[in-house]
Amino acid sequence: MRTNHVRHALARNEPMYGYSAGMGSLLAVETLSRSGIDFILVEQQHGAWGEHEAFLAFMAIEGGSAVPMTRVSSNDYTKIGRMLDQGALGIIVPMVDTAEQAKAAADACHLPPAGTRSWGFGRARTHGADYANWINDEVLCMVQIESATAVENAEAILATPGVHGCWAGPSDLALSMGIHPNHMNDSLEHHRALERIVKACHNTGKAPGLACNSPAEAVAKREMGFRFLTAGSDSGFMGAGATAGLKVLGR
């Protein structure tokens, strides 16, 4: 049996941190997983991972202590099932605007009778011969609330059985509100929308999450009440390190 410590910590109201991996580099995800971070998010919506490459990324993550998770490219039953069949223990579903869409995501993540996931496993068998007996209790299903419509429907979305919380997308939320993402941190309206998401999670007993660009931002958003937080990305860390190096070199 493989215990998903992120899901259980969130249920205890503890913060959990992850790094997003979008470069398509197996060495990068293995390195990030060995850092001690709680989870690695294999970024399929905007990242460089194809389906087969994402499978390999889960294998590389297993070289460290992080929980393997992925953001699928869309709320698609087959895409979600394929990622679970190959070993993902957490699924993040983008652009969920309604309770009906949330139910579709949750159903795809859970075997009957809790959901409608198809029976049949690939690399997930490496989690143990008893995989099917416990996966419904360990898989983490997080939906993305990232539009003004989703904020209006947040409590209904989060009250959906099988949805464990959200990973809010602040940039897309800003765009849906007519705010350029470069200015969202200066917008009181945007800030209040994030507060509404946290409140909806609190009211439904679910975990509020947010995409952040750095560890410092993740700590700041934790103070707002968010608990499932990405704290940077492989490309972000590489770019920041390279820029810092140039400053030392006087370039």
Concatenating the DSSP letter of every residue in the chain gives: ----HHHHHHHTT--EEEEEE-S--HHHHHHHHTTT-SEEEEE-SSSS--HHHHHHHHHHHTTSSSEEEEE-SSS-HHHHHHHHHTT-SEEEE----SHHHHHHHHHHHS-TTTS-PPS--SGGGGG-TTHHHHHHHH-EEEE---SHHHHHTHHHHHTSTT--EE-B-HHHHHHHTT--GGGGGG-HHHHHHHHHHHHHHHHHT-B-EEEESSHHHHHHHHTTT--EEEEEEHHHHHHHHHHHHHHHTT-
**What are 165-216's pLDDT values in tens digits?**
999 999 999 999 999 999 999 999 999 999 999 999 999 999 999 999 999 9
**Angle, helices 26-33/234-248, rounded to nearest 10 degrees:** 90
pLDDT at 114: 98
Residue 209 tokens read as 């999450």
Count of all residues that appear for the chain in the document: 251
pLDDT at 172: 97
pLDDT at 20: 98
pLDDT at 220: 97
Mean pLDDT of the 49-53 span: 95
pLDDT at 41: 98
**What are 114-141's pLDDT values in tens digits?**
999 999 999 999 999 999 999 999 999 9
pLDDT at 149: 98
pLDDT at 216: 97
Mean pLDDT of the 55-60 span: 97
pLDDT at 27: 97
Q: Is the C-alpha dihedral spanning 114, 118, 124, 127 positive or negative? A: positive
pLDDT at 244: 96
Cβ–Cβ under 8 Å, residues 41 and 21: yes
Catalytic positions are 46
* Residue 11 one-letter amino acid: A
- Dihedral of CA atoms 189, 193, 198, 199 in degrees, nearest 10, equals 90
pLDDT at 70: 98
**What are 60-97's pLDDT values in tens digits?**
999 999 999 999 999 999 999 999 999 999 999 999 99
CB neighbours of residue 119 within 10 Å:
9
d(CA 224, CA 180): 22
Residue 16 tokens read as 């959990």
Mean pLDDT of the 210-238 span: 97
pLDDT at 49: 97
Half-sphere exposure of 209 (CA within 13 A, CB side): 29
Residue with tokens 């109201």: 13
Average pLDDT over the chain, rounded to whole? 97
pLDDT at 153: 98
